C-alpha cells in the first residue's frame, strides 16, 4: 500500500515537471525529480543484488523509471 502511494506521488511529480499537469507553482517538483532519479537508481542496485528472481526483474523497471526522471529533469 505504501509503495503504491509513493509511486503515485512520483508519477504526479514527473507529470508536473514535464508540464502535463499544473498543480504546484514552486520549484519543489524540479528538485524532487532528481531525488526520484537517485531513488530509482538505488533501486536498480538493490534489486539487482537480490536473491529473488522477481525483484531482479524489477531492476529493469527501476532502471526505466530512473532514466525517465533523468530525461524529464534534463529537459528543464
Supply φ then ψ for residue 61, to 5 degrees.
-65, -45
Mean pLDDT, rounded, for 4-20: 88
Tens of pLDDT, residues 31-75: 999 999 999 999 999 999 999 999 899 999 999 999 999 999 998
Provide the CA 19 distance to its chain's centre, in angstroms.
Answer: 16
Q: What is the pTM of this model?
A: 0.82
Q: Which domain holds residue 35?
A: 2-74
**What are the cell numbers at 21?**
499537469
Domain count, the chain: 1
Indicate the DSSP class of residue 76: -
Burial class (CB in 10 A: 0-12, 13-18, 19+), 5: exposed
Amino acid at each position: 500500500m505504501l509503495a503504491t502511494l509513493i509511486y503515485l506521488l512520483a508519477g504526479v511529480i514527473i507529470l508536473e515537471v514535464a508540464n502535463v499537469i499544473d498543480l504546484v507553482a514552486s520549484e519543489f517538483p524540479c528538485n524532487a525529480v532528481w531525488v526520484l532519479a537517485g531513488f530509482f537508481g538505488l533501486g536498480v542496485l538493490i534489486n539487482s543484488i537480490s536473491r529473488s528472481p522477481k525483484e531482479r526483474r524489477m531492476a529493469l523497471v527501476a532502471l526505466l523509471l530512473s532514466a525517465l526522471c533523468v530525461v524529464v529533469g534534463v529537459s528543464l
